[in-house]
Structure 1
Amino acid sequence: MEEDYYSINSIIADTHKLTCTFNLDVKGLGFLEGGSEPDIKQHAKAELPFWLAHTLSANEFTSFPIPPPYSHRVRSALNASAHSVRLSSLVGTNGWWYAWGRRIAHILDDAQRKELLGTLLKAFSQRLPLLQDLAAHYGSSSASNINSGDMGSGGVTIAGEAFKEGMDAEERELFALGQGAGRKLKTWYDTPRR
């Protein structure tokens, strides 16, 4: 995902909500909590869009825990079997799990940033080989040859199909590129030579 002012994907990522805790009293912003109080009291919690949470956290008005899509539970699942985690369902619309994680990492302290970025890199590097294999398979196979049962002659495993459905948006972009490259390679290979 681009981190560009005019990027629709960037705008969508900035609307994800974070549960923030206010570090001090804030006058006149009680409506952010959804209550009838005119002010926000210290230690009050509110769900804020990322763009606002980022600004308030950078100025130390708020703090927030690591969001659930990057929690210890998700990291444990990724360590156990990175291919089986459905990244597309962890962050909502379009599943920009890697991109949102990078955005969050920029406002964390050094230790948390290092841990989160390490998790993103490890997950990507463990998932990439299967992504490449599936993209090459789909790119070089015709739709009629694809079998969603056990691996057979030119087929895809059920686990491969589940992985494909659970891909993050960036993984889907790479999959499409790999699939296109696989088609071009098949066309080149099938073209008679003189």
Structure 2
Amino acid sequence: MSYYDVDAILTESQKVPCTFELNVPGLGYLTGDMGGDMRKGSEVELPLWLGEMLALSQSLNTSSLVSLGTPSALTPRVLNALKADPRTVDLRALAPHFYSLGARNLELYEDEEMIEVLSETFKTRATVIADQAHNPRGALGDGVDFMRGLDESERQLFRAAHDSAKAVRQWMADLKKK
């Protein structure tokens, strides 16, 4: 993660479910128990950066403080929906930086199925994005709902494809004038 990369900061701030493996004195405020202790087995959603640090840290008895769960945007239910038809899933509602969150999750855990699903999802959606970008009326007509559901990397892809298509049309128009 780059220190100044806003997208990376926003990805790292996504909440992940964490289960405390030890009792931690004075940390009960995370669950609403002011002044109380965090009990072993307590579940709380923490930002990815904090959950990862706590999961990797070790206490005196060499066990980690928390165990990380899967972010809600990458649960088996979501992966099954993506397998069925990736074009119908609103990725932005799940996580504005969906693919970045998936990549960060894959850095922590190796999951061949998730790699396959995310790769196929991006390929399938990229063809629709390219079609919408090259069709000037596509993003305003039937494709409006799809376009609202794009995550940030897909939006960047759309902008690049749209700008290149516009530049090609301008180039063709300039050639005709000569």
In which range does the TM-score fall when normalised by the shorter chain? 0.7 to 0.9
Matched residue, 1:77: 81
CA contact (8 A) 1:85 1:166 kept: yes
- What CA RMSD, in Å, does the superposition of the two structures yield over aligned residues? 1.9
* 1:178 corresponds to 2:176: no
Unaligned runs of 5+ in 2: 58-63
The aligned residue for residue 68 of structure 1 is: 72
Q: How far off its partner does 1:37 sit?
A: 4.8
TM-score scaled by length of structure 1 = 0.80
The 1-side partners of 2:107 and 2:56 are apart by 10
CA distance in 1 between counterparts of 2:138 and 2:157 reads 22
One-letter code aligned to 2:17 = T
Q: Stretches of 4+ moved more than 3 A in 1?
A: none
Q: 1:13 to 1:163 in 2, by over 3 A?
A: same
1:90 aligned partner, one-letter code = L
- One of 30, 33, 53 as aligned partner of 2:31: 33
2:54 corresponds, among 42, 53, 56, to: 56
Structure 1 pair 147/17, CA: closer, same or farther in 2 (3 Å)? closer
Q: CA deviation at 1:16?
A: 1.6
Residue by residue over 1:112-133, the C-alpha shift from the partner in whole angstroms, topping out at 9 and shown as x without a partner, is x333232221210111111111
Once the 2 structures are TM-superposed, how far is the Cα of residue 31 of structure 1 from its aligned partner?
2.4
- In the aligned structure 1, how far is the partner of 2:68 from the partner of 2:52? 10
> Residues 147, 83 of structure 1: CA spacing in aligned structure 2 closer, same or farther, 3 A cutoff?
closer
5+ residue gaps, structure 1: 139-145, 149-155
Question: Which residue in the other structure is 2:102 paired with?
Answer: 101
Instruction: Note closer, same or farther for the CA distance 1:184–1:63 as it changes in structure 2 (3 Å cut).
Output: same
C-alpha distance in 2 between matches for 1:106 and 1:20: 17
Q: 2:3 matched to which residue of 1?
A: 5
Displacement, 1:57? Answer: 1.7
* CA deviations over 1:60-95 (Å, ceiling 9, x no partner): 32113222211121112111111111111112xxx1
SS of residue in 2 equivalent to 1:78:
helix
2:61 aligns to what? none
With 178-187 and 30-39 compared, the bigger mean Cα shift is at 30-39
Please name the residue that 2:134 is paired with.
136
Q: Which is worse superposed, 59-68 or 168-177?
A: 59-68
| TM-score using structure 2 length | 0.86
Give the deviation of 1:43 after TM superposition: 0.6
Segment of structure 1 superposing worse, 31-40 or 3-12: 31-40
Name the counterpart of 1:142.
none
CA–CA separation in structure 1 for the residues paired with 2:84 and 2:112: 20
Identity fraction in percent: 29
Paired residues of 2:92 and 2:151 also in contact (CA < 8 A): yes
Q: Distance in 2 between matches of 1:100 and 1:107?
A: 11
Partners in 2 of 1:49 and 1:37 — Cα distance?
21
User: 1:58, 1:107 within 8 Å by CA — same for their partners in 2?
Assistant: no
